[in-house]
Amino acid sequence: MEKLIDVVVVTYNRLPLLKECLLSLLNQRDNLSGIFVVDNHSTDGTTAYLSSINDSLVKATTLSDNIGGAAGFEYGVNQAMVEGTGRYIWIMDDDTIPNIGASSALLKTAKQLNDTFGFLCSNVRWTDGHATNIAQVSKDWPEKISFGLVGTVSATFVSILVPKENINRLGLPLGKMQIWGDDTEYTTRLSSFEASFFVSDSIAVHKTGYNLMQDSLKTIQADRIWRFKSMYRNLIYIKRHYASKRGVLKLVFENIVTGIGALAAKDHRLNRFGAAFFGTWNGFFFNPDVHFPDEVSLEKSKNEERSKKILNG
C-alpha cells in the first residue's frame, strides 16, 4: 500500500496528550510515510520520551528554544516538505486525537477530487462530543459542493490535509504570527488558491482543556490574554490581504467593541481591553515574509532523483 501522508505535529509540555496523539497516528500507519514531531523545547520529559521511540515512522526534532506554535508549524512543514516522501502533509496540534479512520477519509476525498483542492479539514469534536474548531463555511458553498462535501474558506491546525504541490506554490505557514490566527491565515491562503472542503467522515477529537468555542476575551484565563492580542493583530493582517477595505473596517469596529465589552470582566479589565486595541493597531504594521520550502534541499533531492533515473537507464 502506498503511504501518502507526512504528518506534522508541534508539541510543548503536553506529554500525556502527545503520547495519545502518536498512538492514534501509529494505528493509521498504513497511510503514513512519516510523522514529523517538532518539540518546542519541552521541559516535562517530552524530549526523553521522543528519544526513546524505536519506530522509523516517527521523526522527532527537539528545538533549542521555544519558538512558538506558529514558527513550530513553519519549521515542521518545511522539514516534512524537504525530508518526507508523501504526497500530502497532515497538520495537527499535539492535543489532536484523530479517529482510526480519519486519515483514510481524507485520502478518499482527496482521490475523489483528483487532488484539486486547497486543503481538507476534519470534523473536530471536543471531549464532550460537541463541535469545536469549526471551519468557516464558504459563502458560495452550494456552487463549490462536491461529493457531498461543504466548501470552506478557513480552518484550524487541528487536522488539515494539504497537497505538497500547494505548499510549493504558496509557501509555508507564517511563523511570525506566533500563535492564534496563523492557521486561519494559512488555510485562507490555500482556499483563495483552490476550493477547500470539510470532510465530515474524518473525525478528530481536540483534547484541549476547554472548548475554545465557549471562550472569549472577556472570560479567558488571565494568563492567556496575550494570545488574544496576537490573534487580533493576525486577523487584521488576514483581512488586509484577503478582504475588502470595508471588511477591514468592520473587523476594527468589532475588535474595539469586544475590547470595550471586556471592561466588564471580573478581572484584568485594562489588559483585556489593551489586547483588543493594541492587537488591532499592530495589525496595520504587521507584514511578515512568506517563506518557501528549503529550495536547496529540494533541489538536491531532485538532482539525486534525476541521477538515479540516469543510472537506472
Q: What is the DSSP string of 139-179?
A: TTHHHH-BTTBEEEEE--SEEEEEEHHHHHHH----GGG-S
Residue 164's contacts (CB-CB under 8 Å, 6 or more residues apart) are 81, 84, 86, 87, 88, 89
Is residue 257 domain-shared with residue 139, that is, in the same domain?
no
Closest CA to 135 of 159, 111, 110: 159
pLDDT in single tens digits along all 313 residues of the chain? 679 999 999 999 999 999 999 999 999 999 999 999 999 999 999 999 999 999 999 999 999 999 999 999 999 999 999 999 999 999 999 999 999 999 999 999 999 999 999 999 999 998 888 888 889 988 776 665 666 788 999 999 999 999 999 999 999 999 999 888 999 999 999 999 999 999 999 999 999 876 555 568 998 889 889 989 999 999 999 999 999 999 999 999 999 999 999 999 999 999 999 999 999 999 999 999 999 998 545 444 444 444 333 333 3
How far apart, in whole angstroms, are the C-alpha atoms of residue 33 and residue 279?
Answer: 39
How far apart, in whole angstroms, are the C-alpha atoms of residue 25 and residue 35?
Answer: 8
Q: Give residue 73's identity as a one-letter amino acid code.
A: F
User: Residue 255's domain spans which residues?
Assistant: 215-283
Within-domain flag for 262: yes
Domain boundary (187, 212, 237) is at 212
Is residue 136 domain-shared with residue 241, that is, in the same domain?
no
Domain boundary (183, 212, 241) is at 212
Cell of 54: 524505536
Cell of 153: 474558506
Inter-axis angle of helices 225-242 and 269-283, to 10 degrees?
30
Phi, psi of 91 (to 5 degrees): -105, 135
At residue 211, the pLDDT reads: 57
Is residue 195 domain-shared with residue 222, that is, in the same domain?
no
Cell 508523501, residue located: 86
Closest CA to 133 of 30, 202, 35: 202
Strand 196-206 to 158-163 pairing: unpaired
Phi, psi of 282 (to 5 degrees): -65, -25
Is residue 221 domain-shared with residue 269, that is, in the same domain?
yes
Q: Is the dihedral of CA 299, 301, 305, 310 positive or negative?
A: positive
**pTM as predicted:** 0.89
Within-domain flag for 112: yes
How far apart, in whole angstroms, are the C-alpha atoms of residue 56 and residue 29?
Answer: 11
Cell 516535562, residue located: 44
Is residue 247 domain-shared with residue 199, that is, in the same domain?
no
Q: How many structural domains compose the chain?
A: 2
How far apart, in whole angstroms, are the C-alpha atoms of residue 34 and residue 3?
Answer: 9
Q: Is the dihedral of CA 182, 183, 186, 189 positive or negative?
A: negative
Within-domain flag for 202: yes
- On whether the CB atoms of residues 35 and 11 are closer than 8 A, the answer is no
Is residue 195 domain-shared with residue 225, that is, in the same domain?
no
Within-domain flag for 26: yes
| 3-state secondary structure at position 92 | strand
At residue 210, the pLDDT reads: 61
Is residue 29 domain-shared with residue 143, that is, in the same domain?
yes
Within-domain flag for 310: no
Is residue 67 domain-shared with residue 207, that is, in the same domain?
yes
How far apart, in whole angstroms, are the C-alpha atoms of residue 160 and residue 280?
Answer: 27
